């Protein structure tokens, strides 16, 4: 199979719950304390993968890490049932489902050594995410272990925060052509923290051996962060020649577009004006936290959550401005409500890797038959619901740990069991 884009979606883990751990993520804060539905969430994620397959896209997966993270709690001198509720909730987080934060990926055509480079994100700005990276790194090293084609890097050291591909965009005439890589960092955001540090992305660009002339660093709008756009992918998304963004996405919009147009003259820019769709509506609907993909038929497709269709200003804008003749040819809608309620849309759930699928460990790739098997497993093994107050219950902890092991067995990935 030729080089293409493979979307690796995180399987929603059996500990999926709404503990409200992500300050600045308005959905997570708004729904804190509500009952979650891990089984439904995971099945919604599988259906999203299935929809990608039916578009003709290559699809992969990542598995959830151990939850509760006993090793992390042990390093803090405690254990799942002895820990205070806050630590326990952080150790039980299922946020690794949002694979857009797993790593930053530079495809082989962009790098000096002609290999795809992946740097695992350190996610150090949020306690519940800061202990994800060892399990993520283990999966990256396994899935992309062919060193002829891939170079996998450990995390950028603290004190610099790196949130991964959620703040990274790439522009290229085709997936297998040399591209221009854009790294979006934050400086401030009113009451909310800027999670992606410029210094971290500068280190990633050096590690990936990128051409400085084809590498841009741009500041995310402080207004957008303050409005709840904790990652750039909440207000902008890119694919091949197309940048789809809110007018308020970038701090110096005009300067950035000038620089990008110079570096990548083939740019097709589609902007949503603030006076037609407010930042509030864009963030509530996750209009931009969409997958922008190019299926084999060449019709660039925007994959949005149901919430975009249910937000009148957003859906009206899409209906008026996106047509079969424009840069974005069609819109597809997916139901990922359980993820959305915790602050993650279609784009959050996947990590894009441009590569030949034949070079990837096949255990991490899926087809319809494998998704059918996983759906049956999840329907039996995943908890139906979780109230955050139940996170200390021994029976729930046992069920969560057993469910993950059942998944690893089904995928023949037992070597990840102890991580």
Phi, psi of 377, deg, nearest 5: -65, -50
| Residue 16 marked ligand-binding | no
Q: Cβ(148)–Cβ(170) under 8 Å?
A: no
Instruction: Please tell me whether 23 is known to bind a ligand.
Output: yes
Does 28 count as an annotated binding residue? yes
Query: Each residue of 65-104: pLDDT tens digit?
Result: 999 999 999 999 999 999 999 999 999 999 999 999 999 9
Active-site residue, selected from the candidate residues 168, 231, 240, 307: 231
- Are β-strands 236-239 and 215-219 bridged in parallel, bridged antiparallel, or unpaired? unpaired
Told to judge if 163 belongs to the known catalytic residues of this protein, a careful annotator would answer yes
Q: Is 326 annotated as a binding residue?
A: no
Q: What's the mean per-residue pLDDT of the chain?
A: 96
Residues 6+ apart with CB under 8 A from 206: none
What per-residue confidence (pLDDT) applies to 189?
86
Q: Which of 62, 1, 138, 54 is nearest to 418 (CA)?
A: 138
Which strand (E) or helix (H) includes residue 400? Answer: helix 394-411
Q: Which of 16, 117, 131, 163 is catalytic?
A: 163
pLDDT tens digits along 103-159: 999 999 999 999 999 999 999 999 999 999 999 999 999 999 999 999 999 999 989
pLDDT at position 40 over 90: yes
27 is in an annotated binding site: yes
Catalytic site includes residue 380:
no
Is residue 231 annotated as part of the catalytic site, yes or no? yes
Catalytic one of 117, 131, 251, 348: 348
Half-sphere exposure of 204 (CA within 13 A, CB side): 36
Query: pLDDT digit string (tens) for 322-379?
Result: 877 789 999 999 999 999 999 899 999 999 999 999 999 999 999 999 999 999 999 9
Boundaries of domain holding 313? 4-416
Over 80: is that where the pLDDT of 318 sits? yes
Rounded Cα distance between 9 and 170, Å, is 19
Lowest mean pLDDT among 15-29, 36-50, 199-213, 299-313: 15-29
Count of structural domains, the chain: 1
Give me the CATH number covering residue 114.
Answer: 3.75.10.20
- CA-only gyration radius of the chain, Å: 20
Say if residue 273's pLDDT is above 90: yes
């Amino acid at each position: 199979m030729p080089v293409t884009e493979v979307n690796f979606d995180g399987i929603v883990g059996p500990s999926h719950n709404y503990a409200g751990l992500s300050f600045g993520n308005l959905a997570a804060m708004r729904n804190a304390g509500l009952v979650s539905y891990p089984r439904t969430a995971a099945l919604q994620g599988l259906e999203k993968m299935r929809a990608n397959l039916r578009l003709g896209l290559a699809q992969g997966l990542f598995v959830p890490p151990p939850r509760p993270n006993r090793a992390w709690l042990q390093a803090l001198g405690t254990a799942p049932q002895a820990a205070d509720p806050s630590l326990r909730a952080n150790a039980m987080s299922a946020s690794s489902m949002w694979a857009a934060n797993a790593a930053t990926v530079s495809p082989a055509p962009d790098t000096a050594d002609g290999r795809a480079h992946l740097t695992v994100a350190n996610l150090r700005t949020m306690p519940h995410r800061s202990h994800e990276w060892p399990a993520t790194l283990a999966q990256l090293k396994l899935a992309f272990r062919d060193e002829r084609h891939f170079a996998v890097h450990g995390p950028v050291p603290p004190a610099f925060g790196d949130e991964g591909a959620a703040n990274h965009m790439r522009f290229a005439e085709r997936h297998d052509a040399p591209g221009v890589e854009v790294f979006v960092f934050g400086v401030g955001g009113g009451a909310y923290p800027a999670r992606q540090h410029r210094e971290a992305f500068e280190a990633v660009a050096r590690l990936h051996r990128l051409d400085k002339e084809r590498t841009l660093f741009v500041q995310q709008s402080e207004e957008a962060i303050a409005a709840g756009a904790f990652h750039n992918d909440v207000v902008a998304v890119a694919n091949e020649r197309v940048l789809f963004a809110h007018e308020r996405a970038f701090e110096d919009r005009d300067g950035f577009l000038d620089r990008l147009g110079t570096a990548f003259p083939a740019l097709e820019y589609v902007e949503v004006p603030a006076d037609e769709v407010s930042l509030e509506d864009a963030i509530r609907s996750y209009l931009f936290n969409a997958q922008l993909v190019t299926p084999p038929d060449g019709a660039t497709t925007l994959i949005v959550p149901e919430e975009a269709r249910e937000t009148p200003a957003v859906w009206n804008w899409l209906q008026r401005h996106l047509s079969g003749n424009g840069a974005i040819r069609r819109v597809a809608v997916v139901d990922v409500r359980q993820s959305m309620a915790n602050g993650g849309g279609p784009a959050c759930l996947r990590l894009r890797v441009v590569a030949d699928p034949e070079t990837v460990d096949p255990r991490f790739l899926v087809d319809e038959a494998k998704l059918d098997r996983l759906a049956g497993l999840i329907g039996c093994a995943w908890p139906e619901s979780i109230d955050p107050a139940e996170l200390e219950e021994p029976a729930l902890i046992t069920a969560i740990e057993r469910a993950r092991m059942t998944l690893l067995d089904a995928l023949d990935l037992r070597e990840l069991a102890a991580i």
